[in-house]
Amino acid sequence: MITAIARRVASGAIVLWAAATAAYLALLAAPGDIVDAIIGDGADTPQIRSQIIAEWNLDRPAIVQYLDYLLRAAQGDLGRSYLLQRPVRDVIGEQILPTLKLAVAAAVFGVVLALILAVTTRHRWVRRVSSTAELIIVSTPPFLIGIVLLSVFSFRFGLFPVSGDRGWAGLVLPAITLGLPIAGVLAQVLRDGLDRALDEPFAVTARARGLRERAVLVRHALRHALMPAVTLLGWLSGVLIGGVVIIEQVFGRPGLGQVTLQAVGNGDMPVVLAVVVFAAAAFVLINTAADLAYLLIDPRLRRS
Amino acid sequence: MSLALPRPATRRLSLRIPRPGLALAGIVLGLAAAAVLWPSAFAGDPLAADPLRVLEGPSAAHWFGTDQLGRDVLDRVVHGARHSLSIGVAATLIAVGAGLLLGLLAGLTHRFADEALSRTFDALSAFPLVLLALLFIAIAGTGTTSLIVAIGIATTPHYARVVRAQTLVVRRAPYVTHAVAFGASRTRLVLRHVLPNVLGPIPVLAMIGLGEAILIAAGLSFLGLGPQPPSPEWGAMLSEGRGYLHIAWWASVLPGCAVTATVISLTVIGRHLQNRFEGRIQ
């Protein structure tokens, strides 16, 4: 088991290295020289130029530049935004909290709703209605869901704040918007998994022991149905990371998405690169968590 | 950790689609195609502003209402089909082309190149598409062309992986061995024998992928990274209408419904074809 964990950590490190390298290559590929790319729309003075050359070791050989960049990234030093005149780490650290709140709330909402949907909509026509609703939700752009929710619950009924990050009430609509597509996909996968598990001999045995259908479903089949759903955690992290950029814009929430968007608009490359590397780190973390979740769900994996 | 993640499982599930749904999807796609090919037959000038009729609700004269400049929202939605859908189609074409090339390359070359390419596909296809596209746009600048290329690049790994898997099967097929035995050249082997047999699942995949590309395109142009106003692109219209949501829901919700209807129709028909296709093989 220790070798298995070591292998997972190693492959996570490789993904991180690949993301950092891709970000670096992107910087090299940007039009103009590397100093121009780092400055972006910021003030362009000889003094700042020499500062950038010193920070990125641009007067040293290419290989030294690259290795030094990797070393700094590994230490959590993501460079300096010359547009904002601050270290990127501070910018991210300041904005991470609202984004994290949104992502966690959305993930919890999505997973819980998916579980409820998959377990409760077993009857034929309820199931069909639910599946159709899931198809529609999955095909709807998330910002449209957000806009519809906003116009109904905030503008028509005035139940939730229109924009900004004001306590928990401001979190409800964004979390639902981001969580609904997750619930749509997960519910379909769980339902398929439940169908398959209920066809297994152990389900027949459980029924023969006189268990009620609900108990067979929740106590025996659900665990098996969770396995393919856990594989989707990687996809889930992708949806969350990509989704927050758009959702924060719809609801006018502060956060990493807003920072990224501004950085893209202003050509503030250090921030864009840092966000990409940071997102890759979050992605690796969630995937490692998914692998550990396998061990929790399936005891057979623990023994081998 | 497992990098070989499956694609979001939606497209692999066997959701039975009722016939009326299929017909409806066909009608929506037909309307969308008509709007792309000949928008002026169905709608007036999408840029004609009428300052006296600003933000009016849906009525007999303006079915979808008017926007903040008094432009007819329905006219703009119809004309917007060409912008939105052509971005999606162009991006998908790029992705399919590049995916074919890279997938064939990975499937036909030896270990190291294959391993390197496959790992890259895996990592990229698991990474959030929106972020990949944002990275590209940050380098190349905003605009329609860069939006198309960004989405094309971001969705390439999806096709490349399928093509690679298919190539690995085909290259071991008896007819390829026969062609080798008959002394066919390498180019001829790839173009005449491998390529046509790899293409099989691609059209249906591309159809479902097109829906995804349209969704991302609308999302990115909603963020202001695509066609700029006054161009009647659906995502951009949503973004413009967002500011007037408190008084005029139609200006943003109805263009959004156009995106949704198109994507659902593509998914429904794509899945239907996929089910039939797979059924025939088995």
| Chain A environment of B240 (Cβ under 8 Å) | none
Confidence of residue A175 (pLDDT cuts 50, 70, 90): very high
**Tokens 């579980």 sit on residue:** A115
Residue from A127, A147, A163 whose CB has the most chain B CBs within 10 Å, to mutate: A147
Three-point CA angle A237, A238, A243, nearest 5°: 100
Query: Using the beta-carbon criterion (under 8 Å), do A141 and B264 form an inter-chain contact?
Result: no
- For B241, the enclosing helix (H) or strand (E) is helix B234-242
Chain B residues with CB-CB distance to A26 below 8 A: 135, 138-139
- Considering only CB atoms, B219 lies closest to which of A37, A143, A155, namely A143
Which residues are within 8 A (CB) of B48 and not within 5 positions of it... i.e. 6 or more apart? B71, B72, B75
Between helix A62-74 and helix A2-29 the angle, nearest 10°, is 130
Q: Where are the alpha helices (DSSP H) in chain A?
A: 2-29, 34-39, 46-55, 62-74, 88-120, 124-139, 142-149, 169-198, 201-208, 213-215, 222-231, 233-251, 256-266, 269-297, 299-303
Query: pLDDT digit of tens for each residue in chain B (282 aa)?
Result: 444 444 444 444 445 556 787 888 889 898 888 888 888 777 777 877 777 777 777 887 778 888 888 788 888 888 888 888 999 999 999 999 999 999 999 988 877 888 888 877 877 776 778 888 888 888 888 888 989 999 999 899 989 999 998 898 888 889 888 888 898 888 888 888 888 888 888 988 899 899 989 988 998 988 888 888 788 888 888 888 888 888 888 888 888 899 999 998 998 888 888 877 765 433
Q: In 3D, which of A117, A151, A145 has the Cα closest to residue A131?
A: A117
Closest CA to B256 of B15, B80, B123, B18: B80
Mean per-residue pLDDT of chain A: 83
Q: How far is CA A220 from CA A90, A124, A239, A264, in A?
A: 47, 21, 29, 49
CA A228 to chain centre: 18
**Which residue's structure tokens are 């082309």?**
B97
Residues belonging to chain B: 282
> How far, CA to CA in Å, does B192 sit from each of B59, B173, B185, B197?
58, 14, 10, 9
Which residue in B21, B127, B141 is closest to A283 by CB distance?
B127
Handedness of CA A88, A89, A94, A95 (dihedral sign): positive
User: Scanning every residue of chain B, which has its alpha carbon at the shortest distance from the alpha carbon of A26?
Assistant: B139
- 3-state class of B66 per DSSP? strand
| Average confidence (pLDDT) over A154-181 | 82
- Tokens 């619950």 belong to A153
DSSP 8-state symbol, B58: P
Interface of A with B in 177-196 (CB under 8 A): 184-185, 188-189, 192
Query: What is the predicted pLDDT for the residue at B61?
Result: 77
Hey, what are A190's tokens? 């769980």
> Do B17 and B272 contact (CB within 8 A), yes or no?
yes
The C-alpha atoms of residue A252 and residue A170 are separated, in whole angstroms, by 10
Per-residue confidence (pLDDT) for residue B12, from 0 to 100:
45
User: b or e along A28-48 (b: 16 or more beta carbons within 10 Å of the residue's beta carbon)?
Assistant: eebeeebbebbbbebeeeeeb
- Does B264 sit within 8 Å of A135, measured CB to CB? yes
> A256, A274 in Cβ contact below 8 A?
no
Distance from CA of A266 to the nearest CA of B (A): 8
pTM attached to this predicted model: 0.82
| Cα(A152)–Cα(A12) distance, integer angstroms | 43
Please report which helix (H) or strand (E) contains residue A81, including its range.
strand A80-81
Q: Which residues of A touch B245 (CB under 8 A)?
A: 147, 150-151, 155
Q: Is residue B155 part of a domain?
A: yes
CA B27 to chain centre: 19
Give A267→chain B minimum CA distance, Å: 6
Residues 211-240, chain A: which have Cβ within 8 Å of B? 228, 231-232, 234-235, 237-239
B1·A140 Cβ contact <8 A: no
Cα-based distances in Å from B255 to A172, B66, B78: 25, 12, 9
**Closest partner residue to B1 among A141, A279, A284, by Cβ?**
A284
Residue A188 near residue B15 (C-beta atoms within 8 A):
yes
Percent of chain A with pLDDT over 90: 8
What is the per-residue pLDDT for B115? 82
B147 vs A168, residue with greater confidence: B147
| Rounded distance between C-alpha atoms, residue B124 and residue B106, angstroms | 15
The verdict on residue B262 lying in a domain is: yes
C-alpha triplet B160, B162, B164: angle, nearest 5°:
65
The ipTM value here is 0.80
Interface contact B55, partner A, CB < 8 A: no
User: Taking CB atoms and an 8 Å limit, are A162 and B260 in contact across chains?
Assistant: no
Question: Cα B273 from chain centroid?
Answer: 17
Shortest Cα–Cα distance, A95 to chain B (Å): 17
Classify the phi-psi angles of A235: left when phi > 0, otherwise alpha if psi is within -120 to 50, otherwise beta: alpha
* Residue A15 contacts B, CB cutoff 8 Å: yes
For A62-100, write each residue's pLDDT tens digit. 888 888 888 888 887 878 887 878 888 888 888 888 999
User: B222 lies in which domain range?
Assistant: 20-37+63-277
- With a cut of 90, say whether residue A9 has pLDDT above it: no
| Residue pLDDT, tens place only, B127-151 | 778 888 888 888 888 888 989 999 9
The pLDDT of residue A19 is: 81
Q: Which residue has the tokens 């152990």?
A: A202
Q: Kindly determine whether residue B253 and residue A148, on different chains, have CB atoms separated by under 8 Å.
A: yes
Q: So where are chain A's domains?
A: 97-266
Q: Which residues contact A172 (CB under 8 A, 6 or more apart)?
A: A160
Chain B residues touching A131 at Cβ < 8 A: 15
Instruction: Tell me the one-letter amino acid at A197.
Output: A
**Number of domains forming the structure of chain B:** 1
pLDDT of B1 reads 40
Is residue A206 classed as helix, strand or coil in its secondary structure? helix
Q: Which comes out higher in pLDDT, residue A61 or B149?
A: B149
Which residue type occupies A254? P
DSSP line for B143-207 = SHHHHHHHHHHHHHHHHHHHHHHHHHHHTTSHHHHHHHHTT--HHHIIIIIIHHHHSTTHHHHHH
**B271 closest CA partner among B215, B209, B224, B222:** B209
In total, the C-beta contacts within 8 angstroms joining chain A to chain B are: 171
pLDDT score of B9: 44
Helix (H, G, I), strand (E, B) or coil at B22: helix
The enclosing H or E element of B116 equals helix B111-126
Tell me the pLDDT tens digit for each residue of A191-209.
Answer: 888 888 888 888 888 888 9
pLDDT value at position B102? 92
What pLDDT does residue A165 have?
65
- Kindly report, residue by residue over A211-251, the tens digit of the pLDDT: 888 888 888 888 888 888 887 877 788 788 888 888 998 88
Q: Are the beta carbons of B2 and A287 separated by less than 8 Å?
A: yes
Q: What is the DSSP secondary structure assignment for residue B12, as one 8-state letter?
A: G
B10 within a domain of the structure (yes/no):
no
A110: pLDDT strictly greater than 90: yes
Q: Is B6 a member of any domain?
A: no
Q: Which among A141, A239, A242 has CB closest to B259? A: A141
CATH for A97-266, among 3.60.10.10, 1.20.120.160, 1.10.8.10, 1.10.3720.10?
Answer: 1.10.3720.10
How many C-beta atoms surround the C-beta of residue B142 within 10 A?
21
Give B2 or A121, the one with higher predicted confidence.
A121
Contact A246 B267 (CB under 8 A): no
The predicted structure's pLDDT at residue B16:
57
Asked if B209 and B195 count as a contact pair (C-beta separation under 8 A), the reply is: no
d(CA A129, CA B90): 34
Q: Does A256 have pLDDT greater than 70?
A: yes
Q: What is the pLDDT of residue B94?
A: 96
Query: Between residues 52 and 111 of chain A, which touch chain B (CB distance below 8 Å)?
Result: none
